[in-house]
């Protein structure tokens, strides 16, 4: 589904879920810039606030570079069939370059190969795709994000107690690598017991429901390792409803809501998976590709652990931020 640039959020009454729907102007008047170059940018869903930050970064870089963007995100979260239809639309419209993250790293490969055959360059960002050819791959070091925030939680627990893991989508590289990082951290703390590791598919409502079930079957949970902030917030809602506010929760992301939760003492910490920076740098890489400028095959966006000591810069909303300079992030 093509979207307009206005971000909207809805509050689901039953579970107080914050959703971020982004839209994008399709009319030429709303996105026409000097060069006439066009970018198609893909997202996995419209409900994860991380993608709202990515979207803001893409738009900011596109404005700076004078290119127009059409954004695509499934109306049903992480829906492969819908994303494949969106790729068909790109094959017809033929933008100058595509920014792509796949809802399924393997299921999208045939459609990516079709775009390759047409000759449209693709920059793979946010989540690695299992096949196809890409001008560049712009991703985070997900394993180390999981490792560092996992260590942070386990140290704060005094190296002992019971934890659970909330995974993202099984088979996605971001989730698999982050969970591997969690497990590596657990190996370093033999007195911490892993009670369960279950997927919540990067969705807040599912995380709330999974956490409710885990609370019922495990009376003492000391810590939660969530592979994304959106799931961490769902877990916090379940824990607070069950009267277990003492359970420590960490996530991965750094979206404004989770930063506020850190400030308020509801979330212990999060690892910086900087969606805004990701959107900026991936867009720069895409435009540099079109303009025949040098672009590394892989660009790794590094992050830090965000806690009560350093959260302030991450409170800034996406539409108030500025893209970093290419040379400050990328070494050609």
Rounded mean pLDDT of the chain? 90
pLDDT at res. 44? 94
pLDDT at res. 171? 85
pLDDT tens sequence across 172-181: 889 999 999 9
Which single residue is written with the structure tokens 């290119």?
Answer: 67
pLDDT tens sequence across 256-295: 999 999 999 999 999 999 999 999 999 999 999 999 999 9
Distances (CA, A) of 159 to 102, 103, 239: 37, 35, 21
Assess whether pLDDT exceeds 60 at residue 29.
no
Go through the domains of the chain in sequence order and give each one's CATH number.
7-140+275-301 (3.40.50.2300), 142-272 (3.40.50.2300)
Q: Quick check: 48 and 230 in contact, CB under 8 A? A: yes
pLDDT tens sequence across 208-260: 999 999 999 998 999 999 999 999 999 999 999 999 999 999 999 999 999 99
Four-residue CA torsion sign, 135, 121, 61, 126? negative
pLDDT tens sequence across 129-179: 999 999 999 999 999 999 999 999 999 999 999 999 999 998 888 999 999
Return the structure tokens found at 57: 């970064």
Using alpha carbons only, how large is the chain's radius of gyration in Å? Answer: 19
Tell me how many helices (H) and strands (E) the chain has: 11, 14
pLDDT at res. 30? 30
Assess whether pLDDT exceeds 80 at residue 9.
no
- pLDDT-derived band at 2 (thresholds 50, 70, 90) equals low
Distances (CA, A) of 22 to 46, 73, 77, 173: 6, 9, 13, 24
Assess whether pLDDT exceeds 70 at residue 15.
no
Q: Looking at residues 102-109, what average pLDDT do you find? A: 94
Assess whether pLDDT exceeds 60 at residue 21.
no
pTM of this structure: 0.84
Beta bridge partners of 11: 18
* Of 193, 229, 232, residue with least CA distance to 210: 232
- pLDDT-derived band at 47 (thresholds 50, 70, 90) equals confident
User: DSSP letter at 258?
Assistant: H
How many whole angstroms from its chain centre is CA 222?
A: 26
Compute the residue count for the chain.
332
How many whole angstroms from its chain centre is CA 65?
A: 23
Nearest-angstrom CA–CA distance, 115 and 136:
15
Return the beta strands (E) in the chain as ranges: 7-12, 17-22, 38-42, 68-72, 97-100, 122-125, 136-140, 161-167, 192-199, 223-226, 248-253, 269-272, 298-301, 305-306
pLDDT at res. 31? 38
Q: Looking at residues 193-200, what average pLDDT do you find? A: 98
pLDDT at res. 1? 53
Q: Quick check: 215 and 244 in contact, CB under 8 A? A: yes
Q: Quick check: 154 and 215 in contact, CB under 8 A? A: no
């Amino acid at each position: 589904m093509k979207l307009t640039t206005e971000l909207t959020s809805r509050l689901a009454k039953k579970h107080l879920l914050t959703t971020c729907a982004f839209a994008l102007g399709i009319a030429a008047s709303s996105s026409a810039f000097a060069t006439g170059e066009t970018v198609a940018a893909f997202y996995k869903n419209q409900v994860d606030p991380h993608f709202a930050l990515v979207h803001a970064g893409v738009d900011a870089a596109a404005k700076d570079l004078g290119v127009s963007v059409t954004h695509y995100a499934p109306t049903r979260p992480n829906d492969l069939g819908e994303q494949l239809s969106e790729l068909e639309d790109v094959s017809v419209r033929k933008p100058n370059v595509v920014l792509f993250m796949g809802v399924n790293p393997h299921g999208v490969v045939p459609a990516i190969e079709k775009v390759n055959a047409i000759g449209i360059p693709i920059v793979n960002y946010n989540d690695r795709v299992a096949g196809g050819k890409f001008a560049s791959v712009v991703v985070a070091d997900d394993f180390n994000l999981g490792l560092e925030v996992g260590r942070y939680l386990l140290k704060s627990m005094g190296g002992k107690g019971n934890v659970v893991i909330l995974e993202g989508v099984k088979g996605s590289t971001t989730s698999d690598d982050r969970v591997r990082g969690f497990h590596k951290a657990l190996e370093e703390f033999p007195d911490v017991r892993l009670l369960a590791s279950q997927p919540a598919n990067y969705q807040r409502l599912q995380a709330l429901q999974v956490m409710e079930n885990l609370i019922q079957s495990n009376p003492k949970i000391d810590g939660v390792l969530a592979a994304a902030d959106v799931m961490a917030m769902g877990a916090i809602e379940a824990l607070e409803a069950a009267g277990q506010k003492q359970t420590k929760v960490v996530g991965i992301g750094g979206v404004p809501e989770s930063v506020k939760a850190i400030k308020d003492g509801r979330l212990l910490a999060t690892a910086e998976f900087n969606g805004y920076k990701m959107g900026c740098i991936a867009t720069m890489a895409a435009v540099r590709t079109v303009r025949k400028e040098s672009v590394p095959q892989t660009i790794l966006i590094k992050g830090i652990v965000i806690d009560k000591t350093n959260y302030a810069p991450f409170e800034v909303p996406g539409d108030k931020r500025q893209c970093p300079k290419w040379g400050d992030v990328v070494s050609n």
